[in-house]
Amino acid sequence: ARTLVTGGSGFIATHVIDVLLKAGHSVVTTVRTPQKGQNIRDMHPGVPQSKLDFVIVEDIAQPDAFDQAVVSDPPFEYVFHTASPFHYKYKDAEKELLQPAIIGTTSILRAIKKSAPSVKRVVVTSSLAAVRSKEKNVGGHADWCSVTAEDVKRDPSTGYVASKTLAEQAAWQYMKDEKPSFTLSVINPTLVFGPVAPHSSLSSINTSNERVYTIMTGGAKSGCPPTGTNSLYVDVRDVAIAHLAAAEKSEAAGRRFLLVGGHFTNKQIVEIIAESFPTLKENLPTGEALEKGGEASLVGDYTFSNAQAREVLGIEFTSLKQSLVDTAKSLQALEQ
């Protein structure tokens, strides 16, 4: 089928595109610059433009951002909306996070309804951040983070969590109000590890892999930081397969899929790297410097259900060790 992937330059989107091409689909992806589009084309040297192409969408925060991108010949059957800011380096949460996340989501749904009647299924990349609540320590597919836009005004650090929560809520609300002919599935991954694309830049590693690179390069040597609240991982290749399955499986319509491979601690990251990359040992903390890394706010406390992802999408989750070893290998390849 013909598919549209938004934000093709992103870490997760790179793998979604990979999985779509391998499954025989043709892909058009939105990127902000022609260079980013060319980078994606260069990753798939044998693939003709008819199978992999890009269109420019500079800013998803514009309400008409996707009006042109959703129109294609042959027409699209599946749309994957992955583009959304994921970083904590913002000054104005409203402008830099909330607007692109929320308007980006509603504008693509609106554009599809208006101009792309061939689309059968839209898959939106949300986050476990939209599911987890401070009050409950069990996460199921019916749970929602309780954050509001008002909370962001008081405490800008919740900006990213709010952007994902409000964007996903806006998507379901749109489906309820507008009753478009396409169906919606939502993917809610936790912190994603996994191999980065060969054109990635070491100076701006995607947010979720940052801690692995920091640890590899000596950033935790004198004292491994506690793991914090982000102590659940999933591998990016599982996330990509989940996107494809969520589009292709009829029973995935109208559902959210929590993608969690398991718990981890920063200490485990250190231990796995030490075991698999002996040359990096000198960069890693040991003994007392490692102990705090074993602490995690959620281990043994917060649990989650990934049953829908296993049973409906057929995901077999990649182990922490496999995920981290492949992440580290890809980061080493970038260094060379």
Per CB under 6 A, residues contacting ligand NDP are 7, 9-13, 32, 36, 59-61, 82-86, 100, 125, 127, 164, 189, 191-192, 206, 208
CB-closest chain residue to ligand NDP: 10
Shortest Å distance, C-beta 295 to ligand NDP = 21
Nearest CB to ligand NDP, comparing residues 16 and 119: 16
Residues 16 and 22: their CA atoms lie apart, in Å, by: 10
Nearest CB to ligand NDP, comparing residues 116 and 192: 192
**DSSP state for residue 119 in the 8-state scheme:** -
Nearest CB to ligand NDP, comparing residues 286 and 319: 319
Shortest Å distance, C-beta 121 to ligand NDP = 18
SS3 at position 39: helix
How distant is the alpha carbon of residue 31 from its chain centre? Answer: 16
Counting beta carbons within 10 angstroms of the beta carbon of residue 244, is it exposed (0 to 12), middle (13 to 18) or buried (19 or more)? buried
Nearest CB to ligand NDP, comparing residues 206 and 318: 206
> What is the per-residue DSSP string for 218-256?
TTTTT-PPP--S--EEEEHHHHHHHHHHHHH-GGGTT-E
242 neighbors 315 (Cβ within 8 angstroms): yes
SS3 at position 143: coil
Shortest Å distance, C-beta 68 to ligand NDP = 14
Q: Within 10 Å of residue 204's Cβ, how many Cβ atoms?
A: 10
Shortest Å distance, C-beta 156 to ligand NDP = 17
Shortest Å distance, C-beta 87 to ligand NDP = 7
Nearest CB to ligand NDP, comparing residues 161 and 270: 161
